[in-house]
Structure formats: structure tokens, C-alpha cells
Chains A and B, each alone.
Chain A
Amino acid sequence: DVKVTQSSRYLVKRTGEKVFLECVQDMDHENMFWYRQDPGLGLRLIYFSYDVKMKEKGDIPEGYSVSREKKERFSLILESASTNQTSMYLCASGNREGTEAFFGQGTRLTVV
């Protein structure tokens, strides 16, 4: 069974903290994605990686960075968490051909 696993289901952090959201896939996919989803705004792409150490900005990269040191792992980093980064974060992986993407269960992050 294909798997995209996000490290936490729920997370509460304080304003100004550095936050790491981890995502691991076991399908040997080249592409990995980080989205955030907010009510009324749908899924918005934060960052996209198409290979190890390669990344591209999505629609809303401000306040975020990413790391992909190994093919199976894609990390989203909030350098200094702010309350407007409270959201549901979704990781996904897909093959290079883009035939199908698989999503993790999501991390609901609350910044207080």
C-alpha cells in the first residue's frame, strides 16, 4: 500500500519558533509537494521539489523554506512561525510523469 507519512497530525507552536514539518514517501517518487489549506482558499502550493536538492517556489513561498536531502524525505521549515501560518499542511508525492499524486494525512499546525 502506497504511503506518504507526515510526522505529526497536530502541532502547537509558539510565535517565533522554528518549526519543521517532515514528510516521507515510500514510492520512490521524484516529485514532492507541500501545500497549505485554509477554509475558503483551497489548496495552495508552497514549494515543489522535482529531485533531490532541487526545489521550486509555489504560489505562496514567503515565510517558508524546504529541504530535500534524500529522495524519500521532504521537509517544510517555518523559520519564525507566525499566527498567520496556522493552517492545515499537506504533503504529496508523485512520479515525474504526473500520472497520479498521493497525499499524506495532513498536519494541523496552530501557532499561538
Chain B
Amino acid sequence: LAKTTQPISMDSYEGQEVNITCSHNNIATNDYITWYQQFPSQGPRFIIQGYKTKVTNEVASLFIPADRKSSTLSLPRVSLSDTAVYYCLVGDIGGYNKLIFGAGTRLAVHP
């Protein structure tokens, strides 16, 4: 399983765009990149998943460069309720996927 590296913490202000980058140098050909969000005292929640280029949904965008050795989760116009821990996971979508979580990035959004 490819190891991921993310910043431990980030700070932002309401209304700003937040970009969280994840490094995964050893990503395999069959691996997809998935991001989860976790609020205190709750289980993680799926945000977005992608393989290459750009994926967008109603919550976030995911940018993946051509070499796929990193990815960036972009949260547009964050609010206080986006304060959470964000996890980047890399795994093979075709086989069984063990869902190994790293340390995550603790995002604090300030008024």
C-alpha cells in the first residue's frame, strides 16, 4: 500500500479557499486516491475520489497531476463547519481495499 504524507495541521479563515496536499510517491498503477473528513466524536465521511486529472463534486475538488505522486484537495469558501481532520488514502479500487488511514490534516477555520 502506498504511504501518504500530509501536513499535520492548517489554519484558514471563513470564505477562503483551502488546498490540502497529499504526497504519495509510491502510488501504484491501479491505485485510486480518496479523501475523507472526520468531525470530533464521529466516524470519517467520504468526500471525493479520483484517479487522475480533476474531479469535482458539490463539496470539493480533487486535483491530480499527471505523475500522480501527489494530489490536492480543494475546499472552496470554507466555513466554520469545515473545521475537521482530512485524510488522504491511496488504494487499489479493483481488489479488496484495506482502507489504511494516515495521520490526516487537522484544518481549523477561524471567523
Contact = CB atoms under 8 A, between A and B. Distances in A.
B98 A48 contact: yes
User: Chain A interface secondary structure, helix, strand, loop or mixed?
Assistant: strand
B98 A97 contact: no
Contact of A58 (B91, B98, B103): B98
B99 A94 contact: yes
Given A42-B103, A42-B104, A98 B45 contact: no
A71 B35 CA distance: 26
A101 interface: yes
Contacts of B42: 103, 105-106
A30 B103 CA distance: 26
A104 B43 contact: yes
Nearest to A35: B101
Given A48-B99, A98-B91, 7 more contacts: A33-B98, A42-B87, A45-B99, A50-B96, A94-B97, A97-B93, A106-B41
17 contacts: A31-B96, A33-B99, A42-B101, A42-B102, A48-B98, A59-B100, A90-B43, A92-B44, A94-B99, A96-B96, A97-B93, A98-B92, A98-B96, A103-B42, A104-B43, A105-B42, A106-B41
Interface of B: 32, 34, 36, 41-46, 49, 87, 91-94, 96-104
